[in-house]
Structure 1
Amino acid sequence: MASLCLLFAVSSVAQEKTKPISPPDSSQVIAPADTVLQPFDQRIINNLRQMSERKTIMGKLLKAILVFDRKPEEVYGLDAELIEREFERHTYKIVRRVDILNMNAFGYSVNDTSRVPRNFFEKAGNSLHVKTRQGLIRNKLLFKTAQPLEPLDLIESERLLRQTDYLLDARIVVNEITTSDDSVDVFVLTRDIFSLGGSGSFTPSSGSGRIALRELNFLGQGHQLRTNYRFGLDAPRSWEFSGSYLVENISNSYLSAEVIYANQNYYQERSFFLRRDFFSTNTKYAGAIGLGRVEERILLPPIDNDTLSRYGTLGYDRRDVWLARSFKPKSYNLGYEARGRIIVGLRMINTNYKKKPTENFDDNTILLGSVGYSIRKYYKDRFLFGFGRTEDIPVGTFVSLTAGYEKGSSYRRYFGATTSFAKYTPSFGYLYGGASYGSFIRNGNWEQGVLDVQSLYFTKLYERGNWKLRHYLLGHATVGINRNPEEMLSINNENGLRGFRSEFVRGTRRVSLNYEANLYTPFSLFGFRLAGVLFADLAWLSTGNKSSPFKEAPYRGYGIGFRLRNEYLSFSTIQFLFSYYPRLPVNEDLSDFRIFNTSRSYYDFTDFRFTRPGVAEFR
């Protein structure tokens, strides 16, 4: 039985093979290609196939959950050279017809329309899922029937569909057989995720636990509900609850409305937001209105030889309004869409403090104006942050200047600047660099300033059979300038050392360097893909405007673990990591070794879209 369980746990799936070719004929069903499995993988599959043919309980179970004769799907459109002008020959043609094929969550593929659910669990999962309504998908498209096809409409629409939370993947193709010199027929293929999900935990020794539920596509309408409930806690109260409800793309306007409610021991929030982002390169207007009331406990500055953390309560009401407009430079090349955009925006933030832990918090109104220039485009690749799904890689250039003032108990001006760039090629990988600076100016003195520099590089995908390897390197430096005493940086978790947690290791200048290697394995069970993780983190920290973080030895963290992800479900990525920290603070009782889990990816892309005028963040 032990050997059966071992074989059952490492059931493998064939490699999803990526090959750069020209976009396929959209009128034909895309045929999958054969993939040669490694001998070790083939032996496992043969053993499982033989066991599934037996008339035993284990054999019947394997036959119900596994499919042995399904070939891997061929994925098209991943060649970076083809994406820039993938559909330029169809620019300004009239859209004659738009056909939408929306597929259920399990057993289907946007790259191979002949695939259907084969086993019991795929069919059962589809029966419990409500598919996304076609009208919701149609409202995401930037092109309409009986209208000219603008440049970038097809690839931008595909990207917007693919980045929707309740869709796993999307593909837009043109029917080349019926296409004429002045009109086109378009196919839109999408695949849902199983939008209902949740998680939980329970500790028998303390009787505490957590239950989280989420529905990302309520009744197929695209509404998103997230809840989190904790129980069995210590004083001051035994329970906590938080939740949010989001309605996106209201009336085909790309307006989204969200309500957030949090009732926790040390954090309470009631907020409402109505916003419209620069969702596409061609978007002209964006803006938002936000109303919120927040009460939270914040960590106060430590006193010399302090062995206990000191906290204070901060409570405030905030009203936030911003509006921005983008302008497209003129292009005299018919059929070529200029990627650059000039954006101007205004923002007003009004904050009224109800509870103040120190005298450094005064009621204020901040008025900001920004002007920026953005060039952005997207490539497609896989095995970046997901486990085989098509992912969009943003590249481009962004520059912006922000100026304004804050009026409260006194008057001070604000100035900020931001710049960033990113490049990507399949043979080199991805390189991103960005820097931002912002500071208030009072009576000629610069205060509450911050300089932030960040870089990210990941290599190309190295493949050996069904095994895939990619390396990541992240550098981040944050320098505070004349910050308030209660404004301090930490190196906890995503701020420096993953898995590290300390209340006393804080400062005003921080430099961190993070390395990670991801080994994507061919093993899968119930759609959960497995990847190995190896990481090494370094972080330097100092206090004071003139002190260098590099004068002392860095804090370090090393670890190894694995990551699980099911792309068909709304579950977050699950990571289990075993870590070691050679240096710890002397005034805290912490362990050198730690086992922890997280659902948050340590790396992410930075898009080149204009968001909103804002004050540089110090965190």
Structure 2
Amino acid sequence: MWIRSATILFIVLLITNDFAFAQDTIVQKDSTRLYENIATYSERSGFTKFMFRLFFKPVSPAPAQKILNKRLKQQPYSSFEGKIIRQINIATLDPFGNSIGDTIAASLNFITKTGNKFHVKTHPFTIRNLLLIHQNQPFDSLRVKESERLVRNMSYITDVSFYTVTTPENTDSVDIFIRELDSWSLIPGGSFSASRLSFNLRENNFTGLGHTFQNGIIWNHSTGDIAYRMKYFIPNIRNTYINSTLQYGTDEWGNFIKNFAVGRPFFSPLAKWAAGVNFSQHLRKDTIWSINFMRFKYNAQDYWAGSSIPVF
């Protein structure tokens, strides 16, 4: 059987070579169809498939398919400088089977479908809350690039792309399109030893708001004591980059800490000021000034502020 297949392929090779030398005006699409027919025939057996790969190259994909997968090329931001931002369009994507550079969604298996189903996608207003640019304001390339960096820097985001185009109705206005790809944000953890069992669960994008919600528990199975800790963090309140932290925790010996903090860091070179306040309450058992354990309860406060000054 394989001798017959090899003979047919050899004859086809001779015929195609004769046509290539004898006729220079063969239509390109006919030649492509001939190669496709040979490729189809070669799939009949492993030997013919090997012979086809030995003498032929795969037929190139159609130009239309290449265009579909081609990523749009961004014009230099300098060409948009000073124009009015008309709209900021934001699209958020689930973490599995999506790409910011390809609008065609990939086929998903059961695991990836289930992961996307249990994942809470980031809300568009969560992304908008991170931007240093706004509608009806002049286009500032520095602020656009810094906004892209700030969005990409979030722990719940895998990647993001900004694409700017001039509006067809008014060449003095631009539209900005933002595509953001989520990262899987629910992170479990834990440990086990001869005396303790611990488990913690961290959600980096709580309900799609970009907030961090962390809970942990430790069980001492030799004594039966339980320790618990909780932390809730809001990274950006109403586009001010003022963050807030609420924390509570206990340990196995009855100590606890309560903490509330509000602050604004130097989140960007464009930030001109930073400040913060911190209030906490602690309860500790210690042997200071006594051989027996004593309970110490105290409050702590912290205030700070800073300003950036351009050097050059």
TM range (shorter): 0.5 to 0.7
User: Of the candidates 105, 108, 114, which is equivalent to residue 104 of structure 2?
Assistant: 114
Matches of 1:91 and 1:273, distance apart in 2: 39
Helix, strand or coil for the counterpart of 1:293?
strand
259 and 179 in structure 1: CA distance in 2 versus 1, 3 angstrom threshold: farther
Matches of 2:141 and 2:285, distance apart in 1: 50
- 1:117–1:123 contact (8 Å) kept in structure 2: no
Amino acid at match of 2:117: S
1:317 aligns with 2:291: no
- Structure 2: which 5+ residue stretches go unaligned? 1-68, 289-293
Amino acid at match of 1:158: E
Superposed CA deviations along residues 566-605 of structure 1, whole A, max 9, x for unmatched, are xxxxxxxxxxxxxxxxxxxxxxxxxxxxxxxxxxxxxxxx
2:220 matched residue in structure 1:
232
- 1:106–1:117 contact (8 Å) kept in structure 2: no
1:254 matched residue in structure 2:
241
322 and 207 in structure 1: CA distance in 2 versus 1, 3 angstrom threshold: closer
Matches of 1:249 and 1:178, distance apart in 2: 35
1:144 aligns with 2:144: no
Matches of 1:247 and 1:208, distance apart in 2: 31
Query: What are the within-5 Å matches in structure 2 for residues 509-548 of structure 1?
Result: none
Query: What are the within-5 Å matches in structure 2 for residues 27-426 of structure 1?
Result: 87-175=77-165, 182-203=172-193, 206=194, 208-232=196-220, 238-265=225-252, 268-294=256-282, 316-327=298-309, 341=310
Matches of 1:179 and 1:274, distance apart in 2: 45
Matches of 1:239 and 1:179, distance apart in 2: 65
Helix, strand or coil for the counterpart of 1:152?
helix
Matches of 1:280 and 1:180, distance apart in 2: 32
- 1:108–1:117 contact (8 Å) kept in structure 2: no
Matches of 2:250 and 2:268, distance apart in 1: 35
- 1:216–1:225 contact (8 Å) kept in structure 2: yes
Deviation at 1:177, TM superposition (A): 7.9
Greater fraction of residues in helix: 2
Deviation at 1:130, TM superposition (A): 1.5
Amino acid at match of 2:85: V
Name the TM-score, length of structure 1 as normaliser: 0.35
Matches of 2:141 and 2:308, distance apart in 1: 17
Superposed CA deviations along residues 377-412 of structure 1, whole A, max 9, x for unmatched, are xxxxxxxxxxxxxxxxxxxxxxxxxxxxxxxxxxxx
Matches of 1:75 and 1:213, distance apart in 2: 38
The range that moved more, 185-194 or 313-322, is: 313-322
2:59 matched residue in structure 1:
none
Identity %: 30
- Structure 1: which 5+ residue stretches go unaligned? 1-72, 301-311, 328-340, 343-372, 374-619
Matches of 2:97 and 2:180, distance apart in 1: 13
Helix, strand or coil for the counterpart of 2:128?
helix
**Greater Rg, structure 1 or structure 2?**
2
Matches of 2:200 and 2:268, distance apart in 1: 32
Matches of 2:250 and 2:295, distance apart in 1: 15
Helix, strand or coil for the counterpart of 1:251?
coil
Deviation at 1:154, TM superposition (A): 1.2
- 1:131–1:192 contact (8 Å) kept in structure 2: yes
Matches of 1:238 and 1:316, distance apart in 2: 24
- 2:98–2:105 contact (8 Å) kept in structure 1: yes
Amino acid at match of 1:135: F
Matches of 2:277 and 2:70, distance apart in 1: 44
Matches of 2:166 and 2:149, distance apart in 1: 21
- 1:95–1:144 contact (8 Å) kept in structure 2: yes
Deviation at 1:150, TM superposition (A): 2.3
Amino acid at match of 1:275: G
Superposed CA deviations along residues 305-353 of structure 1, whole A, max 9, x for unmatched, are xxxxxxx9987532111222334xxxxxxxxxxxxx35xxxxxxxxxxx
Matches of 1:100 and 1:263, distance apart in 2: 41
Deviation at 1:168, TM superposition (A): 1.7
- 2:160–2:181 contact (8 Å) kept in structure 1: yes
Greater fraction of residues in strand: 1
Matches of 1:293 and 1:199, distance apart in 2: 27
117 and 314 in structure 1: CA distance in 2 versus 1, 3 angstrom threshold: farther
Superposed CA deviations along residues 54-95 of structure 1, whole A, max 9, x for unmatched, are xxxxxxxxxxxxxxxxxxx99999xxxx9xx96344222211
